[in-house]
A and B are shown apart, each in its own frame.
Chain A
Amino acid sequence: MAKLSFPVGPQHPALKEPENLRFSVDGELVVDADIRIGYVHRSIERSCSERNYVQDLYLCERVCGICSNAHTQAFCQAVEKIAGVEIPERAQYIRMMMHEFERIHSHMLWLGVAGHEIGFETLFMYVWRDREVIQDILEMVSGNRGHYAMTMLGGVRYDITPEMVTKIREGIAFLRQRAEHYADIATTEATFLKRTVDVGPISGARCQTLGAVGPVLRGSGVGYDVRRAFPYLKYDEVEFEVRTSELCDVLGRTLVRVLEVIDACDIITQVLDMMPEGDITTRFPRKVPEGEATARVEAQRGELIYYVRSNGTDVPERVKIRTPTLANLPASLEMVTGGYIADIPITFASIDPCFSCTDRMVVLDDVNSGDSRTMTWPELVKLGRRS
């Protein structure tokens, strides 16, 4: 059969967000892959420097619907660093708890989607059914199932009451047991193994060269986790293991994620035991002093980096976001090349892509000329269509 080029996306059932992938295939084998991003560019970084810090908090929260808490956490961390504000201990523990809640819900969401991609609808249905437990906990604690608005500058918005603690403990115990069950399924179900073992292979060294982060990196045996390497909040006080897998394939990434759910449950239990009484917020100035800071957190998809520069007003001068999906894309293209067409969806899904977080716009101009210019709306539209 002659070489055939076919597109996946911008509209394709395997992709949950619009993005265009192009594949050259030889029979059932993929010989070349390319990606074009930019379909859902929302210019959030620019908008951040138009709004004040309180408003930016909610804007950053909406960078991603799944890892919204990680984004606010990173943003607050950066701004608090510039302002030199130390948040109360109890607030730190509550933030940590939200962080882990979110990891559980995100990884379970991912496992369901992975099941869907390989035609294992029952896994999808079961995982998402069980995920309702963590969603209910999140809703109880923060008032919302997504976009929790829990992390505020200078602390957290809501406190955890003793009744909640009992409910959280119950829910977490259930989720831990289910996660163990899914880890069993993932390692014993014959058809699941057939679709994940040796699919999307990439070595740990190659991952590091391409700058992959998070479960993709750990699934290839490199034990890098921001929570351990650069502890923030109170991560240096809790015990957890950096989960890695030497399998370097989709199964490895799956296992890392499922085991991280178990770890997250354990971390939450520890946090509940350690949490001191006290305030949950501290006063935070509206005008942040001049300065700049970066913050990194281990979001569910990998390392998330925020850079904030302040000019002394209540509006940041620059906010730069490096989302984990962007870091994982080069690795994902290498994973699909040389594989089967049938493996494209699951391989791409295995990096847990979130494309709307990823889209950035870069215009290369002559840097040396020193000219500045304003782009008009029609110019922007033209640029969007071309790239």
Chain B
Amino acid sequence: MQVLTPLFHMLIFPGFLFLVAFGLFASWVDRKLIAKFQNRVGPPVMQPVADLVKLMAKEDIIPEHANRVMFAVTPLVALAGVIASIIYIPLWAPAAVNAFEGDLIVVIYLLTLPAFALFLGGWYSANPFATIGATRVLTQLFGYEVPFFLACLGPAVAAGSWSISEITHAQADGLWLVTAAPVSFIVAMIALIGKLERVPFDTPQAKTEVITGPEIEYTGRRLAVWKLTFLTETIVGSALIAALFLGGPHFWGIPFASMAPWLAGVVGMIVLGVKILLIVFFLSLAQAALARLRIEQMVQWCLLWLGIPTLINIGVIVLMMRQVGV
């Protein structure tokens, strides 16, 4: 049993299978929303699944001049990094599957893995477009990663803990930390767009410029793994923001403590699911309303308008904590 439980957590719930299923659903919601925004009909609910199955069945090609090992391994590392990080994010009421003081840092680190893997995968694909895309991935990383980290720092300082479960627990009474760190919340959402490489920060994958950039040489199963990475990263990133700022599975007026554990779990999951879909709604809205930025515009804008305000927000939180005397 001691071996089986972690395996179950990794592969079935809340790991791989659950993440993929929810990710596919969220991706359908996303596509449908964008279609509605754009006055179109949009795909049926099973479309993302069908796309995935189609990719799985396609021929798998490794370019002649590519580094075979790096080319093959990077997508798996990226996916593994994302799936591992869900273990530390509380999905239902009391706490995450695993929690320790400092897991916030681990999750942020694990969520950076896909970007590095994408860079390496692109770099070793031996294609000029992939090379340009790969350098853009890294350049963009500097743009969003610093603000994202600073934004996550806000709730941590306010809750006085480096554990995501602890931070979520601090919001159990219904007072969400978004009230303490509103700027950090907005910044985290915008940085998440950069992390997921969506419009307006989809420069590394811009299809009219670099033709999906680092992913250009990937086909079949490996491309499917990349797609899964971004699907699951959408869920994990949204869940992280929900946990840090929006109280995670908690909601004002729902007494989790007095419920049966299984019921608390289910209700918590539903609450969190709705919050994740709300964040996805925001992502879709941004995608529909904006044009793609250039890479240097992106970095400049992010550091100026995301980095500095979050620093100020953290300063304000620290001052407030002093005043309250915590």
Tell me the A residues contacting B by CB distance below 8 Å: 1, 4-7, 12-14, 25, 27-28, 115-123, 125-126, 129, 189, 191-192, 194-195, 340-345
Residues in B192-241 with C-beta less than 8 Å from chain A: 199-200, 202-203, 206-211
- What 8 new A-B contacts, CB under 8 Å, besides A118-B291, A342-B206? A13-B211, A119-B292, A120-B291, A120-B292, A189-B291, A194-B291, A194-B294, A343-B294
Q: When the two chains form their complex, are residues A125 and B39 in contact, meaning their CB atoms are under 8 A apart?
A: yes
Distance from B287 Cβ to chain A, minimum over Cβ atoms (Å): 8
B293's contact among A25, A122, A194, A344, by CB below 8 Å, is which? A194
Tell me the B residues contacting A by CB distance below 8 Å: 34, 37-40, 128-129, 131-132, 135, 199-200, 202-203, 206-211, 287-297
CA distance A7 to B210 in the complex (A): 11
A6's contact among B34, B129, B288, by CB below 8 Å, is which? B129
CA distance A70 to B202 in the complex (A): 38
Q: When the two chains form their complex, are residues A122 and B292 in contact, meaning their CB atoms are under 8 A apart?
A: no
Q: When the two chains form their complex, are residues A340 and B211 in contact, meaning their CB atoms are under 8 A apart?
A: no
Contacts of A194 in B (CB 8 A): 291, 293-294, 297
CA distance A125 to B289 in the complex (A): 12
Q: When the two chains form their complex, are residues B209 and A14 in contact, meaning their CB atoms are under 8 A apart?
A: yes
Q: When the two chains form their complex, are residues B202 and A119 in contact, meaning their CB atoms are under 8 A apart?
A: yes
Q: When the two chains form their complex, are residues A191 and B295 in contact, meaning their CB atoms are under 8 A apart?
A: no
Contacts of B293 in A (CB 8 A): 191, 194-195
Q: When the two chains form their complex, are residues B132 and A341 in contact, meaning their CB atoms are under 8 A apart?
A: yes
Which residue, A7, A119, A121, A125, has most C-beta atoms of chain B within 10 A? Answer: A119
Contacts of B287 in A (CB 8 A): 121
Contacts of B199 in A (CB 8 A): 119, 121
Q: When the two chains form their complex, are residues A115 and B291 in contact, meaning their CB atoms are under 8 A apart?
A: yes
The 25 sampled A-B contact pairs (Cβ below 8 Å) are: A6-B129, A13-B211, A14-B208, A118-B291, A119-B199, A121-B34, A121-B38, A121-B287, A122-B289, A123-B291, A125-B38, A125-B39, A191-B290, A191-B291, A195-B291, A195-B292, A195-B293, A195-B294, A340-B295, A341-B132, A341-B209, A342-B206, A342-B294, A342-B295, A343-B294
Contacts of A341 in B (CB 8 A): 132, 209-210
Contacts of A189 in B (CB 8 A): 291
Contacts of B40 in A (CB 8 A): 125
Q: Is the interface of B mostly helix, strand, loop or mixed?
A: loop
A119's contact among B131, B211, B291, B295, by CB below 8 Å, is which? B291
Contacts of A12 in B (CB 8 A): 211
Q: When the two chains form their complex, are residues B38 and A122 in contact, meaning their CB atoms are under 8 A apart?
A: yes
Distance from A273 Cβ to chain B, minimum over Cβ atoms (Å): 33
* Given known A-B contacts A4-B128, A126-B38, A120 and B209 have beta carbons under 8 A apart: no
* Given known A-B contacts A189-B291, A345-B209, A119 and B39 have beta carbons under 8 A apart: no
* Given known A-B contacts A4-B131, A195-B292, A119 and B297 have beta carbons under 8 A apart: no
Q: When the two chains form their complex, are residues A6 and B296 in contact, meaning their CB atoms are under 8 A apart?
A: no
Nearest B residue (CB) for A190: B290
Q: When the two chains form their complex, are residues B294 and A340 in contact, meaning their CB atoms are under 8 A apart?
A: yes
Distance from A127 Cβ to chain B, minimum over Cβ atoms (Å): 11
The 9 A-B pairs of least Cβ separation, nearest first, read A119-B292, A120-B291, A6-B128, A125-B38, A191-B291, A14-B208, A191-B290, A345-B208, A342-B294
Which residue, B132, B199, B209, has most C-beta atoms of chain A within 10 A? Answer: B209
Q: When the two chains form their complex, are residues A121 and B207 in contact, meaning their CB atoms are under 8 A apart?
A: no
Contacts of B211 in A (CB 8 A): 12-13
Nearest A residue (CB) for B205: A119
Distance from B231 Cβ to chain A, minimum over Cβ atoms (Å): 20
Nearest A residue (CB) for B200: A191
Distance from B103 Cβ to chain A, minimum over Cβ atoms (Å): 35
Distance from B202 Cβ to chain A, minimum over Cβ atoms (Å): 6
Distance from B286 Cβ to chain A, minimum over Cβ atoms (Å): 10
B288's contact among A5, A7, A25, A122, by CB below 8 Å, is which? A122
Distance from B158 Cβ to chain A, minimum over Cβ atoms (Å): 31
Contacts of B291 in A (CB 8 A): 115, 118-120, 123, 189, 191-192, 194-195
Q: When the two chains form their complex, are residues B203 and A342 in contact, meaning their CB atoms are under 8 A apart?
A: yes
* Given known A-B contacts A119-B199, A129-B39, A191-B293, A344 and B288 have beta carbons under 8 A apart: no
CA distance A344 to B37 in the complex (A): 28
Nearest B residue (CB) for A123: B291
A13's contact among B34, B208, B294, by CB below 8 Å, is which? B208
CA distance A5 to B132 in the complex (A): 11
CA distance A189 to B292 in the complex (A): 12
CA distance A100 to B206 in the complex (A): 35
